[in-house]
Chains A and B, each alone.
Chain A
Amino acid sequence: MIHNRIDMQKQNYAIGVLSFPGSNCDQDMINTLRDLFSARVDLIWHRDSIQVKYDLLIVPGGFSYGDYLRAGAIARFARAMNSLQEHAKRGGAIIGICNGFQILCEVDLLPGALIRNQSLKHICKDVILHAPTRNAFTKELDLSRTYRIPVSHSDGNYRIEADGLKALQDDDQIVFRYAQNPNGSVDDIAGITDKNNRILGMMPHPERAANSMVGNLDGKLLLESFLI
């Protein structure tokens, strides 16, 4: 892939990508980030505590610990997750994609939970996303257009109680909505942020649509907006 890598505005911008037994999007994410950005990108094994002060931590997609008990439930006891919690307390940025979104909900860094798709089927296809609000993660996006991003999940059905949903809506925490809801998520939710706009969780995979070889660069636009 030939293009100019984007210089990060901040010198020495460093990104850590966590990896659990069963993670399968960690290398895609790392390769995509290294391809696109002039940032330091490290892989962090789940058993290691995190020594570097990263600007951004990413919890990638996959099936950590075989999705045993509930998707994302067991990851919280990993040493790297303790470090991630400290990173969150310091106000550090975190992005969880797919299984990463499930994990961030399980550890209460994001509200709600993800349950089995309404259809009971694993859904693997492109979906069309709206970005309804302007915030830290959508600042570079054109909110008047849609973005085509792949999803691949069995448990992407976002659930939250009515008052929690109202808080997400009132505080502009819904970052992405499906144009056509594939999995039964309440309010067509595909991605949310925490109250402070520092933590993003989303089911679709922008890292799978960020290379011209796959014929879709919408994910690149999303990642640029998240990182720049």
Chain B
Amino acid sequence: MYLARVFVQLKESVLDPQGQAVTRALQDLGNSEVEDIRIGKYIEVRLQAENELQAREKVEHYCVSLLANPVIEKYRFELEESGQ
């Protein structure tokens, strides 16, 4: 069993209105040192795979086919072996 921690975020070139609003809110709370916030998604996927390479290929496929929209989003993931 593998656990993939997938992070999906809008590309740098894509405006992130949520991030902008939260940046302003944190600044309004007196945190003037905050310069920028970009908001993304964190997704945990548990899957069966024969080895790490196969797990990696599968998660890559999940990301491209559904979890992220490559037109506007980038993704990365961490993979770890977890208990049965």
Q: Which residues of A contact B (CB under 8 A)?
A: 69-70, 73-74, 105-106, 111-113, 115-120, 157, 159-161, 184
Contacts and interface: CB of A to CB of B under 8 A. Distances in A.
B14 A159 contact: yes
A159 B69 contact: no
A105 B71 contact: yes
B15 interface: yes
17 contacts: A69-B67, A70-B69, A74-B66, A105-B71, A106-B69, A111-B71, A112-B71, A113-B71, A113-B72, A115-B14, A115-B15, A115-B17, A116-B17, A119-B17, A120-B17, A157-B17, A159-B15
A113 B69 contact: yes
Given A105-B71, A118-B15, A159-B71, 5 more contacts: A74-B66, A115-B72, A116-B17, A159-B15, A160-B71
A189 B49 CA distance: 44
Contact of A120 (B13, B14, B21, B69): B21
Contacts, number: 37
B10 interface: yes
Contacts of B17: 115-120, 157, 184
Contacts of B66: 69, 73-74
Interface of B: 10, 13-15, 17-18, 21, 66-67, 69, 71-72
Contacts of A160: 71
Contacts of A115: 10, 14-15, 17, 72
A65 to B, nearest CB: 12
Given A118-B17, A119-B17, A159 B67 contact: no
A116 B18 contact: yes
A68 B71 CA distance: 18
A70 B10 CA distance: 12
Contacts of B13: 161
A189 to B, nearest CB: 14
Contacts of A73: 66, 69
In the A-B complex, the 3 residue pairs with the closest CB atoms: A113-B71, A113-B72, A118-B17
Contacts of B21: 120
B38 to A, nearest CB: 13
A120 B13 CA distance: 18
A128 B71 CA distance: 28
A115 B8 CA distance: 14
A149 to B, nearest CB: 23
Nearest to B39: A116
A106 B72 CA distance: 11
A161 B17 CA distance: 17
A74 to B, nearest CB: 8
Nearest to B66: A73
A41 B34 CA distance: 55
